[in-house]
Amino acid sequence: MATVAFRSVAKQFGDKSVLKGLDLEIADGEFLVLLGPSGCGKTTALRMVAGLESPTSGEIEIDGVAVTDLPPRERDVAMVFQSYALYPHLSVAKNIEFPLRQTQMSKAERAAKVTEAATMLGLADLVHRKPRELSGGQRQRVALARAIVRNPVCFLMDEPLSNLDATLRAQTRSDIVTLQRRLGTTTIFVTHDQVEAMTMGDRIAVMHEGVLQQVGTPTELFFNPANAFVAGFVGNPGMNLIHAARGDGELRVGEQSLGAGPATGTGPVLVGVRAEDLVLDPSGVDATCTGVEILGAEVHLLCSIGEDHVVVRQSATAPRPGIGEACGLRATGNGVLLFDPTSGQRLS
Amino acid sequence: MSRHLDRTKEAGLAYLLIAPALVLAVVFIIYPFMRNFSLFLYHAPPYPGLPSHFAGLSQFTTMLTSSTFLQGLGATLLYTVIVVPTGVLLGLILAVVAHQKLKGMAIYRTIFATTAVSSVAVAAVIFGTFMNPVLGLLPWLGINPNPPILQSPTWAMLAMGVIGLWQFMGLSFILFSAGLQSLPEEVLEAARIDGASEVGVFWRVTVPLLSPTIFYAITVGTIGAMYTFGQMDLLVGPYSAQYVHVNTLAYQIYQYVVTEPNPGLAACISIALFIITAVITFVNFRFLERRVTYAN
Ligand SMILES: Nc1ncnc2c1ncn2[C@@H]1O[C@H](COP(=O)(O)OP(=O)(O)O)[C@@H](O)[C@H]1O
Ligand SMILES: [Mg+2]
């Protein structure tokens, strides 16, 4: 068990800057989720902890010791790849045993550990199979078993759920969290799926285009996003972002009132409002309904306000406009946040 | 009706298109193959134009007990043993070295691969120059056995093997380079993270994952080696007193056709060689394929 830290880590591939000075500390035993859209540098960051890539500048520390120059085998971390990367020529048991073969452990000891890990992940009946004879979910569990078997200082998981179907993914999410709690091993979990991040992480680090946007608990990120990117990315759906202007204690789109605004300040602003805080109101701003998603008890109305696309969450039984029809929208509640329209930074 | 015509036309076109390949196959493969069997069963007359008479298997059984044949068989197997395992191993090692993402590797890759496309004549000239007892590089380095390498019962076959190895290594290198390109990189990375050293990764992951390629290289190399005679002919030649040491079966066939014509015997040897190759290939398949892991 250990702490992991990125100290001003930058990575360039050729002249393409993939990570731009990442500073991040992961506490001992913490489950940290690295969240961000595809291509933002999450995998690269994870691979640098594993030692598969070396930073262009900066240091990686494990337990306060710089490991930047150590090869992967001397770092004592375990990684679960998106592709699982099982050894196709080895049985499940041999796959799980592989990391132990590199240690001084006796054969009997190894066998006991393999059995323990296989049992923990419900693989006891499959130990003689080859990876190609397993389903996706079973392969994923073999990859997890191989990671936990040698009790590493840190788990690195790169989108391990992305190849599973929806039901299995939900199940596995909680299985992984339970397993991590039980073992107490520091974990960095990479995903582009904010639902995974919100449900699994002790803390979430949101990245965008190689830059860390915000680190915080799921609740902090949801209610207190540091900038418009985090606001729009976190939550399901993400926060609506509407171009508006402040003045006279009101937020306006053109001449129309979107809702109450701060008493002070004027000029353009990006208004962040959650789908549940937008309501249909004929006296609000002009909008057009462009689609309806019926989720069951609730529906998502997809609307456009000028150039901005927004989602309105309401009860399935409430009256709603038809697709293509005009409607009025208004922001209610205390959840309205203001962002700088150029920098995206939080204003209020 | 017109539809029927269309289909006939289409079929006609199809035959037209395969005709060149078919003609080549008949002239150079199928006819010689059949003709070989008739030569095998009939005594050729001493002069052309006389009738040949049926001999059954007698030519073949005579050949089987002849010392020339047994010696040729030994030479062929010795040559194969020299060339194939070493060629596979060296090709693999070179491919792994060249697989490193280092500057200038493309040049090495090209150099290693070139030997595969050099003709045996080129190889013979190069190595002949090396080994020339008067002007050669080896004598210049002080290696000049008596009798000269190419006439020595001990060294001649080894020299043939080195030439064959030089050529086969290029092919083996190309095969393994392609094999390495297609290995799942993440599996190798997983092994490194799991604590394996580079040597450990090589033996415990790379080699098993390459086993289909290894198997293929062994089979192709063995078949190629069984039919080698080019460097024997070019560097030693049929009239050298010592030629028996390098008189492989394929070379014997050549000689019984060209230098001392005996078509029946040539046909018998070629059929023997065919059977031996088929058996070795079959054994290779049965024995190795069971151990081969085809990654999915
Ligand atoms: N080995 C590499 N060479 C060049 N570019 C790379 C390499 N690995 C990743 N990249 C680039 O770096 C960026 C970030 O990649 P990655 O870390 O895989 O993103 P993520 O995992 O967040 O989707 C991408 O634009 C990708 O194309
Ligand atoms: Mg990735």
CB-based contacts of A106: which residues, under 8 Å, 6+ apart?
none
| Partner residue opposite A72 with nearest CB, options B186, B192, B211 | B192
Cα gap A173→A188, rounded to integer Å: 14
Whose alpha carbon is nearest atom 3 of ligand 1?
A13
A14 and chain B: CB distance < 8 Å anywhere?
no
For ligand 2, the distance from its centroid to the CA atom of residue A11, given in whole angstroms, is 15
Average pLDDT over residues A196-224: 96
Q: Which atom of ligand 1 is nearest to the CA of A14?
A: 4
Average pLDDT over residues A150-156: 95
Which of B193, B215, B288, B296 is the mutation pick for testing A, counting most A CBs within 10 A?
B193
Q: Is residue B25 part of a domain?
A: no
Query: What's the CA dihedral at A164, A165, A166, A171 to 10 degrees?
Result: -60
Q: Is residue B236 part of a domain?
A: yes
ipTM computed for the complex: 0.89
Contact A33, A204 (CB under 8 A): yes
Q: Is residue B83 part of a domain?
A: yes
The CATH code of the domain that includes B103 is 1.10.3720.10
Ligand at minimal distance from the CA of A44 is 1
Residue B1 has pLDDT above 60, yes or no: no
Q: Which domain holds residue B176?
A: 67-291
Report the pLDDT value the prediction gives residue A250, as an integer from 0 to 100. Answer: 86
Q: What's the pLDDT tens digit per position in B192-201?
A: 999 999 999 9
Q: What's the pLDDT tens digit per position in B81-106?
A: 999 999 999 999 999 888 877 777 77
Total-model pTM: 0.83
Among B137, B117, B134, B113, smallest CA distance to B126 is for B137
Report the pLDDT value the prediction gives residue B247, as an integer from 0 to 100. Answer: 86
Place of tokens 């040729």: B72
Report the pLDDT value the prediction gives residue B240, as an integer from 0 to 100. Answer: 62
Q: Is residue B128 part of a domain?
A: yes
Q: What's the pLDDT tens digit per position in B226-256?
A: 998 888 888 887 666 556 678 889 988 888 8
Q: What's the pLDDT tens digit per position in A77-92?
A: 999 999 999 999 999 9
Superfamily classification of domain A4-233: P-loop containing nucleotide triphosphate hydrolases (3.40.50.300)
Neighbours of B238 (CB within 10 A): 15
The more confident residue out of A31 and A252 is A31
A98 and chain B: CB distance < 8 Å anywhere?
yes
Q: Say if ligand 1 is within 6 A of residue A38 CB.
A: yes
Lowest mean pLDDT among A31-40, A187-196, B54-63: B54-63
Cα gap A255→A240, rounded to integer Å: 20
> Mean of the per-residue pLDDT values for chain A?
94
Report the pLDDT value the prediction gives residue B296, as an integer from 0 to 100. Answer: 44
Closest residue of chain A to B208, computed from CA coordinates: A89
> Mean of the per-residue pLDDT values for chain B?
84
Tokens of A90: 């080895």
Could you state, in order of their start, the residue ranges of all structural domains in chain A? Answer: 4-233, 240-339
Residue B71 has pLDDT above 80, yes or no: yes
Contact A59, A66 (CB under 8 A): yes
| Sign of the four-CA dihedral A191, A194, A196, A201 | positive
Q: Give the SS3 label for residue A20.
A: strand
Residue A63 has pLDDT above 50, yes or no: yes
Q: What are the chain A neighbours of B205 within 8 Å (beta carbons)?
A: 87
For ligand 2, the distance from its centroid to the CA atom of residue A157, given in whole angstroms, is 10
Q: Is residue B143 part of a domain?
A: yes
Q: Tell me the count of A-B CB pairs closer than 8 A.
A: 69
- Count of structural domains within chain B: 1
Q: Say if ligand 1 is within 6 A of residue A198 CB.
A: no
Q: Is residue B262 part of a domain?
A: yes
Place of tokens 């929806």: A166
Task: Please give the backbone phi and psi of residue A76, each rounded to the nearest 5 degrees, phi first.
Answer: 55, 40
Q: Half-sphere exposure (CA, 13 Å, Cβ side) for B19?
A: 7
Query: What's the CA dihedral at B95, B97, B100, B103 to 10 degrees?
Result: -110
Residue A68 has pLDDT above 90, yes or no: yes
Report the pLDDT value the prediction gives residue A65, as an integer from 0 to 100. Answer: 95
For every residue of A34-65, DSSP letters joined together read EE--TTSSHHHHHHHHHTSS--SEEEEEETTE
Lowest mean pLDDT among A8-17, A85-94, A248-257, B233-242: B233-242
Closest CA of chain B from A75, distance in Å? 8
Q: Is residue B72 part of a domain?
A: yes
Neighbours of A214 (CB within 10 A): 22
CATH of domain A240-339: 2.40.50.140
Contact A60, A6 (CB under 8 A): yes
DSSP conformation class of B235: I
Q: Is residue B48 part of a domain?
A: no
